[in-house]
Amino acid sequence: MPLRTKFQNKTICIYTLIGILFISISCGDNRESVETEPATVKSESFTFFELGTNTKLTEQIREDLGKKLGRDAIEGRGILDLDTNYAGFISKYLPKINELNQKLNFPPGERVEHNILKLMYRYARKKNTPFDYVALVFSEYTRTPLLFKINFKIDETGIVETLKTKYGSPQIIQWKEENGKTMVWRKNLDVLLVSLVPDQFGRHGYQIVIYFVQNLKELIDIERDEAKRKEQQRATSGKTAF
């Protein structure tokens, strides 16, 4: 066989083997990514001290937060009201959040309690942070965040500009009441608000609210299923009582 022909055949074999190896690696990677990706992982959106929609609250996280924000006050089962700024704000400007709030607080006018955990930090400034008050609400079912509220009087560290750089230009809501303003960011269903809220003297302070909509919907679904299960248990108990 001529030398050129042998060389050409070897070259073809090498490229063929490389092609087969590439296909095998690609297929293996794709299969592994599908099989190993947890089904419950949601798309990340907004974070506060690296706490995001997929965060699972642990004692280590509480300890880390204590180092950053000071000692926490903790509340267990209680109400979960999504309204902010003033009564009726979300019904006027954030109808989808208001719809979730209605589901969480049905029937209206009654005290509806939820299986939640609320961490509150009132002395964060002593830890050299710019925040006057921080409230972090988690689901006790999944230990994932539902609602964050962060208050501060003056934006001395450029928080608003940092958010604009990270998440882009916000939607602006100019209140028709009380001379306030709210900036809105949306990402992967979740919602971030920064509001300039006037006090009784007309001076504005800041309030940040993060609605983890994906997790709020999950809480509503869990509570609905739990209510159905309890209803079935009561029905069964009634039938077997006599």
Q: Is the dihedral of CA 88, 204, 212, 183 positive or negative?
A: positive
167-188 pLDDT per residue, tens: 999 999 999 777 899 999 999 9
DSSP state of 114: B
> Does the model's pTM come out above 0.75?
yes
Residue 147 · residue 137 · CB < 8 Å: yes
DSSP code per residue over 67-101: HHH---EEE-SB------SSTTHHHHH-HHHHHHH
DSSP state of 110: S
DSSP code per residue over 25-73: HHHHHHHHHHHHS-TTPPPP---BTTB-TT----HHHHHHHHHHH---E
Which tokens hold the place of 71? 């000692």
50-96 pLDDT per residue, tens: 999 999 999 999 999 999 999 999 999 999 999 999 999 999 999 99
Mean pLDDT along residues 102-113: 90
120-140 pLDDT per residue, tens: 999 999 999 999 999 999 999
Q: What is the mean pLDDT of the chain?
A: 84
CA max distance for the chain:
98
Residue 169 · residue 183 · CB < 8 Å: no
